[in-house]
Amino acid sequence: MASVEYPIEVRELIAELKRLPGVGPRSAERIAVHLLQNRRATPLDLARALESCDSRVKSCGSCGFFAGESTCPVCDEKGRDNKIICVVEQPTDVIPIERSGVYQGLYHCLGGRLAPLDDVRPEDLRIGGLIRRVREVEGMEVILATSSDVEGEATANYLAEALSNINCSVTRLAQGLPAGGGLEFADELTLTRAFEGRRGF
Amino acid sequence: MASVEYPIEVRELIAELKRLPGVGPRSAERIAVHLLQNRRATPLDLARALESCDSRVKSCGSCGFFAGESTCPVCDEKGRDNKIICVVEQPTDVIPIERSGVYQGLYHCLGGRLAPLDDVRPEDLRIGGLIRRVREVEGMEVILATSSDVEGEATANYLAEALSNINCSVTRLAQGLPAGGGLEFADELTLTRAFEGRRGF
């Protein structure tokens, strides 16, 4: 007597859930079970939200941020400083910067970062478009805001090199202690960066 | 200048993901971002798996396990011992028992457990159906396999009481040390149960 298993539909749902980041086999099963039998679960609402994201959320042809069919909430916004462009890895990186309110310039979303091991090469990123945009406006500032890990640094270095023969200034976000963070929680590299980047008081 | 936010479709997807068990606001955002921009993400496949579970996976009218329109993989399977019924909280609890291969009887899925604080009362569970099934067959054994936590125990006690005037034997799964687990990892209650339930060697 073979042991009874989940129906094929449930096994397929578990397989799809397992592909999400941070969801292992056990959580995938738990989420599937919740969707199947919790009275408050709304699997069809989730299905519809997925479909509507897939069909309606597009990328801005210029900066790569989420945009409607013909307008981009960043590029088309009045009052932004178009002499400064902040280069981020993903469109989602724009959100925390916008929430901080510290920056009022334009953005350029690369769509990832250089990662030879994952087969992400310069031609896979929106680097050509960045160079075109920087060339268009004389004397732009380009802030490289890729992550401060190895691949983010490598991407920043590559971009700095690619932009070096254009008339623009290239900067990189400061590294140091996080605001509100004590020395006891800082790793060695963060401390090194904080010392290297110390400023007059 | 208001800060730029995710498009409404993405915010709705994040809201739906946040409702899943074990998925907080940060993971919901991370999963949504993955679904939106990872080249290997397949949001439409996930949407279809959800819809197909919703439309095709039903409950067996008798035992409550996942079943097709007219057949149940447990109740309709030849060779099962129909003098013994194992009562579990959820249809998903059937799967680990089946995988263990230790049990060849029938099941009864309650659809939850008594939880007055979450407003789950006896009439919300499939208890009437259980009593009917036990009454139908003379001298049945009913194994109460609800969880060994407070609510599971309360549910088991309630069922034992409800079955007490029917001609059947009621048993409860043994509690004790998990197989392969050393004493150093056992909590006090588990140890107490292991001592109380000790058997001749």
Q: Delimit the domains of chain B by residue range.
A: 8-56, 79-172
DSSP bridge partners of B58: B67
A168 with A106: CB under 8 angstroms? no
Task: Say yes or no for a CB contact (<8 Å) between B22 and A17.
Answer: no
b/e per residue B164-182 (b: at least 16 CB within 10 A)? eeeebebebeeebeeeeee
Q: How many Cβ contacts (< 8 angstroms) between chains A and B? A: 177
pLDDT of the residue at B174:
86
Task: Say yes or no for a CB contact (<8 Å) between A31 and B22.
Answer: yes
Task: Say yes or no for a CB contact (<8 Å) between B23 and A44.
Answer: no
Rounded to an integer, what distance in angstroms lies between the CA atom of residue A74 and that of residue A95? 11
pLDDT of the residue at A174:
86
pLDDT of the residue at B188:
84
Task: Nearest chain B residue to A44 by CA: give it.
Answer: B51
Task: Say yes or no for a CB contact (<8 Å) between B32 and A9.
Answer: no
Cβ within 8 Å of A, B 55-114: 56-57, 65-66, 68, 73-74, 77, 79-80, 90-92, 94-95, 98-99, 101, 104, 111
Q: What is the pLDDT along chain B (201 residues), one digit of tens a residue?
A: 567 888 889 999 999 999 999 999 999 999 998 898 777 889 999 999 999 998 888 889 899 998 877 788 899 888 999 999 999 998 888 988 888 888 999 999 998 899 989 889 999 999 999 999 999 999 999 999 999 889 999 999 999 999 999 999 999 988 888 887 777 777 888 888 888 888 877
Contacts of A107 (CB under 8 A, 6+ apart): A63, A64, A65, A74, A85, A86, A87, A88, A94, A97
ipTM of model over 0.85: no
Q: What is the CA radius of gyration of chain B?
A: 22
Q: Are strands A66-67 and A58-59 parallel, antiparallel or unpaired?
A: antiparallel
A119 interaction partners in chain B (CB closer than 8 Å): none
Q: What CATH class is the domain A77-172?
A: alpha beta
Which of A5, A29, A37 to probe the B interface (max B CBs under 10 A)? A37
CA A12 to chain centre: 29
Contacts of B145 (CB under 8 A, 6+ apart): B86, B87, B88, B93, B97, B172, B173
**CA angle in degrees (0–180, nearest 5) for B40-B51-B43:** 15
pLDDT of the residue at B1:
58
B99 interaction partners in chain A (CB closer than 8 Å): 3
B120 Cβ under 8 Å from any chain A Cβ? no
**pTM (two decimals):** 0.71
Q: Averaged in consecutive runs of 10 residues, what is the pLDDT profile of chain A (201 residues)?
A: 81 95 92 85 93 89 84 89 93 88 92 89 94 94 91 94 93 85 79 82 79
Angstroms from A201 CA to nearest CA on chain B: 31
Q: What CATH class is the domain B79-172?
A: alpha beta
Task: Nearest chain A residue to B58 by CA: give it.
Answer: A36
- Classify residue A145 by its DSSP letter: -
Angstroms from B103 CA to nearest CA on chain A: 10
Task: Say yes or no for a CB contact (<8 Å) between B34 and A49.
Answer: no
State the fold for domain A1-42: Helicase, Ruva Protein; domain 3 (1.10.8)
pLDDT of the residue at B71:
80
Tell me if residue A189 falls in helix, strand or coil.
helix
Angstroms from A37 CA to nearest CA on chain B: 8
- Closest CB to B7: pick one of A15, A66, A111: A66
pLDDT of the residue at A52:
92
**CA angle in degrees (0–180, nearest 5) for B60-B65-B69:** 35
Architecture of domain B8-56: Orthogonal Bundle (1.10)
